[in-house]
Amino acid sequence: MQRRQFLKIGLASSVIGLSSASAVWLAQGNDPKSLTLDTLFSRLHMFANLPAEALANLSIGQWNAAQIFTHCAQSVEFSMSGYPQHKSAVFKQTIGTLAFSAFAIKGAMTHNLTEAIPAAPVLEPNADAHQALARLVTSLTDFSQYQGQLAPHFAYGELTKQEYELAHILHFYNHLDSFKPLSNPV
């Protein structure tokens, strides 16, 4: 009898602990008002106004600003043209779907900030940051005007345009963790 009671208490404690941890994690997302392309374009405009040296030295992570902008642009471009390599269908239908759902509910994404898109062109470390930023802005503008069928995401699978828009915004906002804070954030 004591073993059964111990197991019940242990199970209940685990459920309560996981629920509490999940609630805390979900509460730490972005302001939903900031999850729009207009807000993202405003943030990118702030970067465009930085001098070349300041923009080039903005990153405190392993990738520099040009690599981050290029990586995010690749993701947007691949959502329209197709990703070069995919996770398995099982992964996309389970872990990928669950991950995107959690990110969407939270309004924030967390992922390895130096993991390239599988089979994407190599991120050039000596690229010009302003040119890479312009590529990102162009890709987002093209995406916002895109009327064709979107390609499945390499990890999340099929996404609607609205879901892809959120994924692109959350993806870039997660990469902001690799940047020094700007004095005047949007």
Which DSSP symbol is given to 160? -
Q: What is the pTM of this model?
A: 0.82
Please write the tens of the pLDDT for every residue from 124-173: 999 999 999 999 999 999 999 999 999 999 999 999 999 999 999 999 99
Token pair for 7: 């197991």
Distances (CA, A) of 177 to 29, 40, 132: 13, 15, 18
Q: Kindly list the domain boundaries of the chain, sorted by start residue.
A: 1-30, 31-178
Q: CA–CA separation, 55 vs 40, rounded Å?
A: 17
SS3 36: coil
What is the Cα 27 distance to its own chain's centre?
Answer: 18
| pLDDT tens per residue across span 94-124 | 999 999 999 999 999 999 999 999 999 999 9
Residue 85 has what pLDDT?
A: 98
Q: Which amino acid is at 136?
A: L
Q: pLDDT-based confidence at 39, cuts 50/70/90? A: very high
Q: Hey, is 22 helix, strand or coil?
A: helix
